[in-house]
Amino acid sequence: MLTSTLCTLATPVIARAGGAIGLTILRFILGLGQGSLYPSLNVLMAHWAPPAERGRMGALVFAGAMIGNVISMALSGYLIYHGGWTTVFYVFGILGLCWVAMWHFLISSDPSQHPFISKKELQYIKEATGATKSKDELPPTPWRDILTSVPLWGLIIAQIGHDWGLFTIITDLPKYMKNVKTKFNEEAQKL
């Protein structure tokens, strides 16, 4: 998250100083920083959420990303209208720094390392997640079965298609709206 935040803050400067090549490199670095985000969230939920609560927690966590996209798109139009395109990157970069600071002090990878967790809650999480089992009791990972799983490849292909469509809409819809609407203003962005 810190990498993404720093890249966001650096975007206006790099776009002006480094041009398209500099911006492409910066976006690549940003992608590397974000690439580990979703797998890390899954590991975090596996450590913190009992199996009966993982579905609800996962839905909340991953829906938050989509809700964030909706809110940021609407807010971006407002920020661009009132402060220029660089304002978007500075505002979201500062919000990202606040998020990273809160995350650093309030979240830990393992419940046993969290400074504010009660002993009762820690015991409940350990028992419910199976954290009390030793690693020797776990069976080996069936990599061949995983990599040859037709449903898994179906999910991968579906995710690629989803992301392609989502990011095409995110990047091209504002350009389309501006070209279609001669008076594309703050009110049109709210719609």
Structure confidence by residue, pLDDT tens digits, 80-89: 889 999 999 9
Rounded to 5°, the CA angle 69-27-106 comes to 55
Alpha-carbon gap, residue 95 to 5, rounded angstroms: 8
Angle between helices 37-48 and 51-83 in degrees, nearest 10: 140
List, in order, residues 6 or more apart from 160 with CB less than 8 Å away: none
* Least trusted range by pLDDT, from 69-83, 103-117, 168-182: 168-182
Return the structure tokens found at 143.
């990599």
Q: What is the pTM of this model?
A: 0.68
Return the structure tokens found at 43.
């590991």
Alpha-carbon gap, residue 173 to 170, rounded angstroms: 6
Select, from the ranges 16-20, 25-29, 174-178, 187-191, the one with the highest average predicted confidence (pLDDT). Answer: 25-29
Return the structure tokens found at 134.
């030793």
Q: What is the pLDDT of residue 26?
A: 93
Q: What is the pLDDT of residue 189?
A: 57
Alpha-carbon gap, residue 14 to 22, rounded angstroms: 6
- As a whole number, the mean pLDDT across the chain is 86
Q: What is the arithmetic mean of pLDDT over 149-169?
A: 92
Q: What is the pLDDT of residue 112?
A: 86
Angle between helices 51-83 and 85-106 in degrees, nearest 10: 150
Tell me the percentage of the chain whose pLDDT exceeds 90: 35
* Of 7 and 188, the one with more pLDDT: 7
